[in-house]
Structure 1
Amino acid sequence: MKKLTIATRGSKLALWQSRHIKSVIESHFTDVEVELKIIITSGDKILDAPLAKIGGKGLFLKEIEESMLRGEAQMAVHSLKDVPTVMPEGLVLSAITKREDVRDAMLSENYPDIRSLPQGAVVGTSSLRRRMQLVKQRPDLVIKDLRGNVDTRIRKLKEGEFDAIILAAAGINRLELNGAVKYFYPISLNEMLPAMGQGALGIETTQEEWVLEIARYLEDADSRIETTIERGFVDTLQGGCQVPIGVSARVQENGEVIVRSILGMPDASEEMGDMIVVSKEQISGVGETMAKTLIAKGAMELLQRAETMANEA
């Protein structure tokens, strides 16, 4: 019997994701035993500074990837929105799972949606992307940084530090925390575009053939299409969580793919974006092409100013 080791962070959500993949693998590959190896990452240790200032979401992967490269694990299960677009040599993004809800969600004890928040309400998020799109709708809101795992963020909401907090709907759904607060409001894509890859799990592996065979079973074709477009868009813009970028590619039942994007300043003082509709046969390079169209309109300069503003905040 082969033993597959999955390296994982120790948060509830990371463990849920890894245990879910463990269960799927063991139910299909009866000759494979799966164990989890919990690793504390730099991102887990540094909780008193915004991600944009300390190196971005790649801080949640560094020690996990080092463990895999040392041969201590063969697989890692990530929230794909946290995975940089460039993989370390020796590792590969070998599968992308079927997506959960791609939307962001507002959680509150007193207010059912963004429109109902009172003037000057305090909203918690660690994301420049969410900040930009919130301020665009409601410039009167007070946006404060919010770090920590899902339980910590909800506790801070319940203790009254925030009137509302914004999290990825997928994580709330996976942990079945929809009822943990009075109001759980999935934010429509017309109100807020998500991060690249949001809602999907990215399966990062070593390049051993037996490991790649397992990973292929976890792959979802539509998720690969959507997230490849989204990641291509962000990669071409050379953007990460240090700058506000939202992008959504959605495969429709008729075979069309709707791609939408937004980027701008954290205070929403400037923004630009695009929307295109293509068929599945036309998707090659779509994300990159959309990014280049915006670059021609000054996107890189805008994002440089956005990064400067974020670092000065």
Structure 2
Amino acid sequence: MNAALRLGTRRSALAMAQSQMVADAVAEASGRAVELVPIVSEGDVNRASLSQLGGRGVFANGLREALAADRCDFLVHSLKDLPTLQPDGLVIAATPPREDARDVVVTRDGTALSALPAGAKVGTGSPRRIAQALRHNPGVDIHDIRGNVDSRLARVRDGELDAVILAAAGIARLGGDLGGLSAEYLGLAEWPTAPGQGSLAVETRADIAPEILAALAALDDTATRVEITAERTILSVLDAGCHAPVATHASLTDGDLRLRAIVYALDGSHRIGIDRTVRLEPGYGGEPGSGNGANAADDGGPIARASRAGQEAARRLLERGAADLVPRESTT
């Protein structure tokens, strides 16, 4: 009987929940049991703000070290936390179908972010969300916070904060219960989110057994892979960190890739944006479950075209002055 596969994951409730979803799918695809291996990342123990930590892969490095040391067979990441530079010897074997990519403003009474009174306390640790919130409502008082979803919601429920801004995907993967609080879902046209938000990345060693790689690749969703490739290419070309004030969202419909990207000043006072649609290929719709996996980025087809679309979008942003707004991160 084959030994159980070992899935490395962060210890948070959200990480464990989304890792268990992947574990169940891999077990079905491989016919082998999958056990979770909780691992502590730098981002779990370093309580500095995300703006100070920057884009150094603080939520991924510890997991990747465990994978390279053969303490686990594969990892599950929230893709938005991954640096765009892929380490030697590791591959993204699959990007499962994407969850809701939107952000959510959670309040006690349902007041919209734009309607919050001057001085209202809004909690978020993301420089992107800080810039967006200040642009939508310059009068709010931003509180730079860290912590899991439950602890952030509790700070609103207890009156310490008037609102928090969270990822819709995280709320959904934890069951969607806000404990009596109200949610305002923010439209992606005006409020694009972090590159890769709502997506998971299943990462493994390049030399893993072929049958394991095949089982992981069976989870890959081509439409998701196309969209996140375009988004993350923009981040890479801009040389911005994972937590820079860069917002992107790509959506694939009937072969057309619509790509929206905005770079913000840290205080939200200025932004540079682009919105363009690229035809990938006639009749291409990005069928779910295509299982292209680790080879998808090399197929010269829609993935490569999505990468080129991202490069062109980033080039146009730079021509318009985006480099003056983006904190540079050579380790992205």
Q: Same fold (TM over 0.5)?
A: yes
Question: For residue 264 of structure 2, what is the aligned residue in structure 1?
Answer: 264
CA contact (8 A) 1:98 1:223 kept: yes
Contact between 2:245 and 2:264, CA under 8 Å: does it hold in 1?
yes
Which deviates more, 271-280 or 184-193? 184-193
- Per-residue deviation, 1:220: 0.3
- 1:42 maps to which residue? 42
The answer as to 2:140 corresponding to 1:117 is no
- Paired position in structure 1 for 2:244: 243
Residue 71 (str. 1) matches residue 94 (str. 2): no
Measured in 2, the distance between the counterparts of 1:200 and 1:262 equals 19
> Which deviates more, 171-180 or 288-297?
171-180
Give the equivalent residue in structure 1 for 2:234.
233
Alignment of 1:124-139 (within 5 A): 124-139=123-138
CA distance in 2, matches of 1:292, 1:117: 36
Higher mean displacement: 227-236 or 181-190: 181-190
Q: Is the 8 A contact 1:236 1:291 kept in 2?
A: yes
Aligned equivalent of 2:323: 300
Instruction: Summarize the alignment of residues 274-289 of structure 1 with structure 2, pairs less than 5 Å apart.
Output: 274-281=274-281, 283-289=306-312
Hey, what does 1:310 align to over in structure 2? none
With over 3 angstroms needed to count, the CA separation of the structure-2 counterparts of 1:107 and 1:181, relative to structure 1, is: farther
In the TM superposition, what is the alpha-carbon distance from 1:107 to its structure 2 partner? 0.7
Map residues 203-222 of structure 1 onto 2, 5 A cutoff. 203-207=202-206, 208=208, 209-222=210-223
Separation in structure 1 between the aligned mates of residue 244 and residue 42 of structure 2, nearest angstrom: 20
- Asked if the contact 1:95/1:203 (under 8 Å) is kept, the reply is yes
For residues 156 and 179 of structure 1, the distance between their equivalents in structure 2, rounded to whole angstroms, comes to 12
**RMSD between aligned alpha carbons?**
1.6
Letter in 1 for 2:188: L
| 1:1-53: CA deviation from partner (whole Å, max 9, x where unpaired) | 143111111100000011111111112322x1211111111110112x21121
Which string of whole-angstrom CA distances, capped at 9 and with x for unpartnered residues, describes residues 244-267 of structure 1?
Answer: 000000012x32111001002111
Aligned partners of 2:147 and 2:211: how far apart in 1?
36
| Residues 160-187 of structure 1: per-residue CA shift (max 9 Å, x gap) | 1210000000000110134324201211
Q: How does 1:62-211 map to 2 (within 5 A)?
A: 62-207=61-206, 208=208, 209-211=210-212
What residue number does 1:311 align with?
A: none
One-letter identity of the residue aligned with 1:239? A
Structure 2 unaligned regions, length at least 5: 282-304
Amino acid at match of 1:194: T
> Which segments of structure 1 move beyond 3 Å, counting only runs of 4 or more?
none
Q: Is the 8 A contact 2:77 2:201 kept in 1?
A: yes
Partners of 2:147 and 2:261 lie apart in 1 by 27
Answer with 35-44 or 277-286: which moved more.
277-286
Amino acid at match of 1:117: L
How many angstroms apart in 1 are the aligned matches of 2:180 and 2:12?
Answer: 20
Shift in CA distance, 42/300, structure 1 to aligned 2, threshold 3 Å: same
Secondary structure at 1:283 match in 2? helix
Give SS of 2:15's match. Answer: helix
Verify the 8 A CA contact 1:122 1:164 in the aligned structure 2: yes
d(CA) in 2 for partners of 1:115 and 1:10? 35
Query: Sequence identity of aligned pairs in percent?
Result: 36
- Cα distance in 2 between the residues matched to 1:179 and 1:303: 34
1:298–1:179: structure 2 CA closer, same or farther, 3 Å change rule?
closer
Alignment TM-score, normalising by the size of structure 1: 0.92
What is the DSSP-based 3-state SS (H/G/I as helix, E as strand, rest coil) of the residue aligned with 2:326?
helix
- 175 and 106 in structure 1: CA distance in 2 versus 1, 3 angstrom threshold: same
Amino acid at match of 1:255: G
**Cα separation, 2, equivalents of 1:269 and 1:184:** 26
Deviates more, 1:176-185 or 1:223-232: 176-185
Structure 1: 5+ residue runs without aligned partners? 308-313
Deviation digits for residues 122-179 of structure 1 (CA, Å, limit 9, x no counterpart): 1101111111111111111111111011111111221212100000000001101343
2:241 partner letter = G
CA distance in 1, matches of 2:33, 2:168: 31
What's the CA shift for 1:283? 3.2
Q: Could you list the per-position Cα deviations for residues 275-307 of structure 1 after superposition, in whole angstroms to 9, with x for gaps in the alignment?
A: 101112353410111101111222112214x99
| Cα pair 1:111 1:117 within 8 Å, conserved | no
* TM-fit CA distance, 1:110: 2.1
Q: Is the 8 A contact 1:178 1:184 kept in 2?
A: no
In structure 2, give the amino acid aligned to 1:35.
E
